[in-house]
């Protein structure tokens, strides 16, 4: 059965208990956990809550920043990521999302080398704990400070350099779906996709992320989902909705619209 999930970033003002109850009520069986909200609620309490409602953890977000762009040292970022791998295992999470970090005035060769060194260390620990790492390419229009990895081609190159099956990618349709070139890379990256995040936008990302309701933007979601299905993707589909275009919409309405959209879309894939 397909796991339909919602990222906690989509309902940022709710606490974890409210989210789990509402997601289940609207027919979602998974949740993408956001580490700051998880820490606020408490990991042990969260494990009990998720088990009580049979809610799968499709992702834990995020670790990374290995380039020092967020003010941490390389070693601090690596140790934080290792801690998150162990936490993901305790939560029985499917994936741990990784952001590379911004350029931070480094040259490209140094950035790639630093990231690959960190990912090699992290993937070794992930293998021991049965956790999938998912490197996320970020659109440069809204994510330069978060990641210097901006497209599927460069993401695939890093995955191949690391060469550990624990490392794959998360394909977020908001970040890559408006690029026609991404369609051509789907057959190559499909075997490495650990998670698909669904997002839509009315225009190309610029500045802060501004996602809209699924189907209301210019991302060819139906086509992308059909291609991913044809390429054999059978993992979770996690929705992430955040930005000015959705912040005035009530969360109950947002969840209702999202579930109805996904039901219609998946009916067409069967």
Q: Is 9 exposed, middle or buried (0-12, 13-18, 19+ CB in 10 A)?
A: middle
How far apart are alpha carbons 12 and 32 in whole angstroms?
12
Cis bond leading into 169, ω under 30°? no
Residue 57 CB neighbour total at 10 angstroms:
21
Is the pTM above the cut of 0.85? Answer: yes
Q: How far is CA 175 from CA 19, 103, 147, 204, 233, in A?
A: 25, 18, 12, 9, 19
pLDDT tens digits along 222-237: 999 999 999 999 999 9
Q: In residues, how long is the chain?
A: 270
Question: For the chain, what is the mean pLDDT?
Answer: 95
Residue 96, pLDDT > 80, answer: yes
For 108, the domain range is: 4-269
pLDDT tens digits along 13-44: 999 999 999 999 999 999 999 999 999 999 99
φ/ψ of 135, rounded to 5, equals -75, 130
Ramachandran region, residue 7 (left: φ > 0; alpha: ψ -120 to 50; beta: rest): beta
Q: What is the pLDDT of residue 207?
A: 84
Q: How confident is the model at residue 270 (pLDDT cuts 50, 70, 90)?
A: low
For residue 32, give the CATH number of its domain.
3.20.20.150
The number of distinct structural domains making up the chain is 1
pLDDT tens digits along 178-233: 988 888 899 999 999 999 999 999 999 888 899 999 999 999 999 999 999 999 99
**CB distance 158 to 116 below 8 Å:** yes
Q: What is the pLDDT of residue 206?
A: 87
How far apart are alpha carbons 31 and 57 in whole angstroms?
5
């Amino acid at each position: 059965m397909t796991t339909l999930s919602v990222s906690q970033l989509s309902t940022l003002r709710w606490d974890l208990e409210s989210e789990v109850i509402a997601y289940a009520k609207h027919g979602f069986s998974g949740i993408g956990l956001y580490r700051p909200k998880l820490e606020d609620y408490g990991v042990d309490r969260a494990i009990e809550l998720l088990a009580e409602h049979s809610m799968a953890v499709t992702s834990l977000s995020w670790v990374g920043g290995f380039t020092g762009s967020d003010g941490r040292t390389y070693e601090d970022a690596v140790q934080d990521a290792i801690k998150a791998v162990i936490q993901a295992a305790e939560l029985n999470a499917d994936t741990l999302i990784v952001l590379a970090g911004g350029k931070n005035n480094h040259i490209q060769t140094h950035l790639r080398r630093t990231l690959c060194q960190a990912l090699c260390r992290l993937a070794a620990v992930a293998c021991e704990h049965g956790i999938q790492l998912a490197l996320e390419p970020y659109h440069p229009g809204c994510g330069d400070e978060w990641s210097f990895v901006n497209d599927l081609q460069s993401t695939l190159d890093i995955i191949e350099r690391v060469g550990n099956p624990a490392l794959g990618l998360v394909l977020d349709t908001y970040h890559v779906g408006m690029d026609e070139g991404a369609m051509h890379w789907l057959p190559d990256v499909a075997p490495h996709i650990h998670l698909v995040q669904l997002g839509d936008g009315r225009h190309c990302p610029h500045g802060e992320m501004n996602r809209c309701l699924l189907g209301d933007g210019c991302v060819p979601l139906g086509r992308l989902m059909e291609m991913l299905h044809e390429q054999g993707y059978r993992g979770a589909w996690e929705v992430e909705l955040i930005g000015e275009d959705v912040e005035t919409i009530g969360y109950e309405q947002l969840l209702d619209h999202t579930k109805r959209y996904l039901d219609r879309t998946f009916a067409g894939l069967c």
